[in-house]
């Protein structure tokens, strides 16, 4: 697949104009990547969490409130914001694809770290500080043949240079299930992150899970565990920020905190609901560099933003021209495109589970189109059946006739179908307005349908091209070998 691209001419034409900083001295850039995270921070108004370090970051930076990931799970989402291209445009949309074939990114599409390295940045995926773990070193990209993503020997904090700018990433692990602990399936939170006081902040008694789950002790316990993991993540990132401050680098570093996809809950991660797509984003600009246009310290920004825009924004901060082919838009400095009216997302195969779902948000409404047939939320995904105990609980309650209301509707939902939600009136996306006769709802449905159709054509959405069966079949076997297959699904590895 080729993408026409007059890169050399564009670079010559735009050199010194597209970036925020074309001078020799450029800021360091630090990405703090939270796993599977929604707006569950104190600075976003969340209850039963303690996030003082990220709250301080928001108070000193810009907090974005309408940021939508391009995919509700890690590998396709990361493949998008690592390249600045929708995963559906670059054939990286199925979960963990192209791990064992000769696939290369399309012409003109490169990892953001390669562009930064060419501009003189040292690139690092940090895992350790003083011999202790601070990050997972996660990549999880749907391309593996592009050469090293980061500089070699760059996983320890001590590798960060003092004589040139660096781009570093710290990936948290708290909001993630530990798939290697096959007995308890506990979320991983290393002891060294500090005292376990954060584990007492949210309790099954004080949390309020969303109404699309049954009111059940297990649901409340899982919700509390997730919120406590967010508090633990804040403590981890606090250690990183304190180290940056202790070394006198804080005011030379642009700090960007974000979630890589939506919340770690059964109807969050993997699904194109708001809980699976809406993520936090905070950008703090250092005092030793002039603040760019569009940046006002201590404010909230409510414009529509795609997490894809992380790429072009990072390049602009580094003074690197943003290629015209890139679908990402800079959020700061000279804007190469007006603020987005609509923000798009897509979900395709995740492990062995094949669903094709598309999504578009505006500032008020969210439209979801499921193009695949059969069960949606109730479809089989072995990883989630094993790691997310709410799933088997809901199946049990359904079989016993004990599910009612939104949880029952969720378990019975099948595709193809359309969904439309008014996020102001219905933030939990309970009432589907796709069949509403109200003029406002009919207008929103028509606008968002048309916007999604246009986006799918203009971006060359490749989701309609089926993956060969010989590619998909091994995923079913792998997931069966890892997690088993529930009895209700027949017990076979190829289900």
Strand partners, 253: 28
pLDDT in tens, 365-422: 999 999 999 999 999 999 999 999 999 999 999 999 999 999 999 999 999 999 999 9
Q: Is residue 53 part of a domain?
A: yes
Shared-domain flag, residues 333 and 368: no
- Give one DSSP letter per residue of 1-69, joined into a string: ------HHHHHHHHTTTSSS--SS---EEEEEEESS--S-SGGGT-SS---HHHHHHHHTSEEEEEEE-
For the residues 190-195, what does the mean pLDDT come to? 44
pLDDT in tens, 251-269: 999 999 999 999 999 999 9
pLDDT in tens, 136-158: 999 999 999 999 999 999 999 99
Boundary of a domain, candidates 308, 340, 372: 340
Instruction: State how far the alpha carbon of 159 is from the alpha carbons of 126, 270, 402, in Å.
Output: 9, 35, 56
Per-residue confidence (pLDDT) for residue 335, from 0 to 100? 83
* 251 neighbors 282 (Cβ within 8 angstroms): no
Per-residue confidence (pLDDT) for residue 178, from 0 to 100? 59
pLDDT in tens, 147-188: 999 999 999 999 999 999 999 999 998 887 755 444 443 444
* Burial status of residue 349 (CB atoms within 10 A of its CB: 0-12, 13-18, 19 or more): buried
Shared-domain flag, residues 336 and 411: no
Shared-domain flag, residues 335 and 350: no
Q: DSSP secondary-structure letter at 424?
A: T
Shared-domain flag, residues 253 and 389: no
Q: Is residue 492 part of a domain?
A: no
Cα–Cα distance, 91 to 83 (Å, whole number): 12
Per-residue confidence (pLDDT) for residue 199, from 0 to 100? 56
Q: Residue 135: give the domain boundaries.
A: 19-340
Cα–Cα distance, 113 to 31 (Å, whole number): 12
Shared-domain flag, residues 332 and 448: no
Per-residue confidence (pLDDT) for residue 377, from 0 to 100? 98
Number of domains in the chain: 2
Per-residue confidence (pLDDT) for residue 20, from 0 to 100? 53
Q: Is residue 5 part of a domain?
A: no
From 268, 274, 280, select the one nearest 172 (Cα to Cα): 280
* 116 neighbors 321 (Cβ within 8 angstroms): no
Residue 200 reports pLDDT greater than 90 = no
pLDDT in tens, 90-135: 999 999 999 999 999 999 999 999 999 999 999 999 999 998 999 9
pLDDT in tens, 426-477: 999 999 999 999 999 999 999 999 999 999 999 999 999 999 999 999 999 9
Cα–Cα distance, 180 to 24 (Å, whole number): 46
* 62 neighbors 350 (Cβ within 8 angstroms): no
- Domain of 81: which CATH number? 3.40.720.10
| Three-state SS at 118 | helix
Query: Which sign, positive or negative, has the C-alpha torsion 321, 322, 324, 325?
Result: positive
Question: In terms of residues, how long is the chain?
Answer: 495
Residue 326 reports pLDDT greater than 50 = yes
Q: Tokens for 163, please give them.
A: 């004589």
* 213 neighbors 390 (Cβ within 8 angstroms): yes
pLDDT in tens, 66-89: 999 999 999 999 999 999 999 999
Per-residue confidence (pLDDT) for residue 175, from 0 to 100? 81
Q: Is residue 13 part of a domain?
A: no
Shared-domain flag, residues 273 and 397: no
Boundary of a domain, candidates 286, 318, 340: 340
pLDDT in tens, 211-227: 999 999 999 999 999 99
Per-residue confidence (pLDDT) for residue 336, from 0 to 100? 78
Shared-domain flag, residues 232 and 380: no
Phi, psi of 347 (to 5 degrees): -125, 135
Cα–Cα distance, 42 to 323 (Å, whole number): 36
pLDDT in tens, 329-372: 999 998 878 999 999 999 999 999 999 999 999 999 999 999 99
From 344, 331, 276, select the one nearest 303 (Cα to Cα): 331
* 46 neighbors 55 (Cβ within 8 angstroms): no
Q: Is residue 370 part of a domain?
A: yes
Shared-domain flag, residues 91 and 49: yes
Q: Is residue 271 part of a domain?
A: yes
Shared-domain flag, residues 444 and 325: no
pLDDT in tens, 16-71: 334 454 446 999 999 999 999 999 999 999 999 999 999 999 999 999 999 999 99
From 280, 278, 277, 316, select the one nearest 295 (Cα to Cα): 316
Residue 5 reports pLDDT greater than 90 = no
Per-residue confidence (pLDDT) for residue 102, from 0 to 100? 95
Shared-domain flag, residues 380 and 315: no
Boundary of a domain, candidates 283, 308, 340: 340
* Burial status of residue 306 (CB atoms within 10 A of its CB: 0-12, 13-18, 19 or more): buried
Q: Is residue 3 part of a domain?
A: no
Please, which residues have CB within 8 angstroms of residue 336's CB and are 6 or more apart in sequence? 18, 312, 322, 329, 330
Shared-domain flag, residues 293 and 407: no
* 146 neighbors 98 (Cβ within 8 angstroms): no
Cα–Cα distance, 173 to 189 (Å, whole number): 7
Q: Is residue 133 part of a domain?
A: yes
Residue 8 reports pLDDT greater than 50 = no
* 283 neighbors 254 (Cβ within 8 angstroms): yes
Shared-domain flag, residues 353 and 307: no
């Amino acid at each position: 697949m080729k993408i026409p691209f007059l890169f050399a001419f564009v670079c010559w034409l735009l050199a010194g104009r597209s970036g925020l900083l074309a001078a020799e001295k450029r800021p360091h850039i630090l990405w703090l990547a939270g796993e599977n995270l929604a707006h569950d921070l104190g600075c976003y108004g969340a209850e039963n969490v303690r996030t003082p370090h990220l709250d301080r970051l928001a108070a000193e930076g810009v907090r974005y409130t309408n940021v939508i990931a391009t995919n509700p799970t890690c590998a396709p989402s990361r493949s998008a914001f690592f390249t600045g291209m929708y995963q559906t445009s670059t054939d990286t949309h199925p979960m963990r694809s192209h791990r064992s074939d000769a696939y290369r990114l399309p012409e003109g599409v490169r990892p953001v770290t390669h562009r930064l390295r060419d501009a003189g940045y040292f690139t690092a995926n940090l895992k350790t500080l003083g011999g202790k773990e601070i990050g997972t070193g996660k990549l999880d990209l749907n391309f593996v043949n592009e050469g090293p993503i980061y500089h070699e020997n760059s996983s320890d904090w001590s590798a960060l240079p003092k004589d040139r700018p660096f781009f570093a990433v710290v990936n948290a692990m708290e909001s993630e299930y530990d798939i290697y602990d096959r007995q308890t399936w506990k979320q991983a939170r290393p002891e060294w992150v500090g005292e376990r006081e954060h584990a007492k902040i949210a309790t099954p008694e004080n949390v309020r899970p969303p109404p699309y789950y049954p009111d059940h002790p297990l649901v409340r316990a899982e919700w509390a565990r997730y919120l406590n993991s967010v508090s633990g993540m804040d403590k981890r990132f606090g250690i990183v920020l304190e180290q940056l401050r202790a070394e006198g680098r804080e005011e030379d570093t642009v700090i960007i905190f974000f979630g890589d996809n939506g919340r770690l809950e059964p109807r969050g991660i993997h699904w194109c609901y708001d809980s699976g797509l809406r993520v936090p984003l905070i950008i703090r600009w250092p005092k030793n560099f002039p603040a760019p246009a569009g940046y006002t310290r201590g404010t909230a920004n409510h414009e529509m933003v795609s997490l894809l825009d992380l790429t072009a924004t990072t390049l602009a901060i580094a003074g690197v021209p943003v290629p015209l082919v890139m679908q990402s838009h800079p959020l700061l400095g000279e804007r190469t495109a007006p603020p987005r009216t609509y923000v798009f997302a897509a979900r395709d195969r995740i492990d062995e589970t094949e669903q094709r779902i598309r999504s578009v948000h505006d500032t008020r409404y969210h439209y979801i189109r499921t193009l695949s047939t059969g069960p949606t939320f109730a479809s089989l995904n072995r990883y989630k059946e094993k790691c997310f105990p709410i799933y088997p609980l809901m199946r049990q309650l359904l079989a016993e006739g004990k599910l009612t209301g939104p949880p029952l509707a969720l378990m019975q939902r099948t595709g193809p179908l359309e969904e439309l939600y008014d996020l102001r009136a219905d933030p939990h996306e309970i009432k589907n307005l796709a069949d509403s006769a109200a003029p406002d709802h009919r207008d929103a449905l028509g606008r968002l349908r048309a916007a999604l159709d246009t986006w799918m054509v203009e971006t060359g959405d490749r989701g309609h091209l089926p993956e060969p069966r010989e590619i998909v079949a091994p995923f079913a076997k792998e997931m069966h070998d890892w997690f088993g297959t529930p009895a209700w699904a027949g017990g076979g590895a190829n289900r």
